[in-house]
Structure 1
């Protein structure tokens, strides 16, 4: 797979993996030690049908791990029935996982098999590529995360300014000319739109977003067939992809199946800021990076606010005796200082 690199960052508390294509991040996965194993994509469980929802044409299934329950679409199961199910979409935005019926079940609700771990997922993305680990992986995954939480990209080479955001209803992508571009004309516009669709696909994959998406193209008067071909090529291999026509307002509509929990849902709190869990993981990862980079330092201490210290303490302990953690409430939330001992 020419131009493909994969990175595996296995830091205490969570494991992250990223796929880069031609030097740019395209996929990112984060699995945390305190995630619910029964909710991971591909996990198989015995569940109990807790209630039928005729209006939703499906049932909510208790997987034995508490709320939120999984949702099983379709008919043919009765309330109280035991069923074997597989997770086809991870929880997101407060909703439980989506499930697929694999057969009848028996006994108590319980996990039968966890879904693939990060290493296995990377192997599926790039079967012949050995993952890079260590400091290079920490740097690469950090870069992928920053882009996954960004607002868009500007590509001066094609005069493209792309902005992207996710609402409750859909993903919204706005393509426009970059402010200082000198490019004009129908051919330049077509190139910018093609590249914009490809970039939109990359960013949607990177963020693990699914559902309905609208891409507001540059200009008007499009060759709809050409745009559809460009979209299908950009999203090639995507599960459940549906590409609609370009409407009279110059907006391309498409839909992509939800699969993994969105990256922003994992990392951010309800106010769109890095959660306490994420901030603690940042500290542990920075400490691990420093320990790997400065092998001659007898100890490296992270100073951070007490709330973050408490959350990060067990993971820092797992880094070994060279890693230290000190509470300092003079340091603002989300900030820390590293000191060599």
Structure 2
């Protein structure tokens, strides 16, 4: 695909996806499923009821009327009262067993409930990419599929630059390892600086793509002797994140910084705790293949998606919205994720 900014919007029954590509590389993947509570989506405005005050955490937990209670941090001189009604806005979506995070807007009245939904995927894409045209259809289906594959990959190799980048998220932090194979005849110091700069740019892109945040630790090429240059490169790579907080590069070549959480990490949307694609993820993947075939083949009177019964159970109520040519067929002989598209 060409350079510049390209924006893709793939709207389907039960799930909407969006992707942003800059200069031929994906930078953002947005996934919004109908089943996720609207009260906990980024930007949603709700009336909440304080159900617990925790001075040790300097905050309280607020019932929004759906899902786990959200956490509301409060300033040192502020106070919450159990049972208090507040109007709040979601500033961070749920992740890893933690509820959403909200900020107080003012007093609230009545039961916990949604007042205004957060921006939909199309609005978020416009916020990320300005007035770039939203591309739909087959191109969008292919783009969001490619973006998902890259977001779930653990290792990324940029052979033309001799760069090997590994990114892993643990319970405590995000670990980034930048490895570099120096080219013969090139100044070692310049090669290290170039590798660290490119590694930080790509790490920033992939962290955004996965909706990750929190503490980030980067193992740079070298032992910290290029600390000033590496610090500048990191700040440039995350220049669009005003709330990023950077620490110094250690003598061992480790750079630490912190990013604010906002969206649910992509792998928590797509995978179960064991790292396998959920039945919903497998079902929606098959639906994208079915929709792509429907758009590509306008002559066949019927196009069927044959899949395992648990996936058919997810797609059954949704596929009718694709039109009379689309059919879902359950087949107990097919393994999970082994669905196929058949024309007739």
TM (norm. structure 1) is 0.97
- Measured against aligned partners, the alpha-carbon deviations of 1:296-336 in whole angstroms (never above 9, x if no partner) come to 11111111111111111112121111111111121111111
Alpha-carbon separation, structure 2, partners of 1:174 and 1:181: 19
- Measured against aligned partners, the alpha-carbon deviations of 1:225-266 in whole angstroms (never above 9, x if no partner) come to 211111111001214201111112211101100001100010
Alpha-carbon separation, structure 2, partners of 1:12 and 1:222: 53
Alpha-carbon separation, structure 1, partners of 2:162 and 2:152: 23
Aligned partner of 2:273 among 256, 270, 273: 270
Map of 2:73 onto structure 1: 73
The DSSP-based 3-state class of the residue aligned with 1:19 is strand
Aligned partner of 2:299 among 284, 296, 303: 296
Map of 1:55 onto structure 2: 56
Contact 1:90 1:260 in 2 (8 A): yes
CA shift, 1:113, in A, is 0.2
CA shift, 1:157, in A, is 2.1
- Measured against aligned partners, the alpha-carbon deviations of 1:2-37 in whole angstroms (never above 9, x if no partner) come to 701100000111000010001110011100011100
Map of 1:177 onto structure 2: 180
Q: Quick one: structure 1 residues 323 and 156, their matched pair in 2 at CA, closer, same or farther if it must change by over 3 Å? A: same
Map of 2:328 onto structure 1: 325
Aligned partner of 1:145 among 126, 139, 148: 148
Which residues of 2 match residues 169-318 of structure 1 at below 5 A?
169-178=172-181, 182=184, 185-318=188-321
Contact 1:158 1:188 in 2 (8 A): no
Map of 1:4 onto structure 2: 5
Q: Quick one: structure 1 residues 280 and 184, their matched pair in 2 at CA, closer, same or farther if it must change by over 3 Å? A: farther
Map of 2:65 onto structure 1: 64
Map of 1:41 onto structure 2: 42
CA-atom RMSD in angstroms: 1.3
Count of residue correspondences:
338
The DSSP-based 3-state class of the residue aligned with 1:93 is coil
| Segment drifting more, 238-247 vs 77-86 | 238-247
Contact 2:225 2:251 in 1 (8 A): no
Aligned partner of 1:107 among 107, 110, 113: 110
Alpha-carbon separation, structure 2, partners of 1:293 and 1:271: 35
The DSSP-based 3-state class of the residue aligned with 1:78 is coil
Q: Quick one: structure 1 residues 43 and 247, their matched pair in 2 at CA, closer, same or farther if it must change by over 3 Å? A: same
Alpha-carbon separation, structure 1, partners of 2:65 and 2:214: 28
Alpha-carbon separation, structure 2, partners of 1:170 and 1:186: 29
Contact 2:44 2:116 in 1 (8 A): yes
Alpha-carbon separation, structure 1, partners of 2:283 and 2:274: 18
Contact 1:283 1:312 in 2 (8 A): no
Contact 1:201 1:234 in 2 (8 A): yes
Contact 2:27 2:208 in 1 (8 A): yes
Alpha-carbon separation, structure 1, partners of 2:52 and 2:129: 40
Alpha-carbon separation, structure 2, partners of 1:223 and 1:60: 44
Map of 1:133 onto structure 2: 136
Contact 1:68 1:94 in 2 (8 A): no
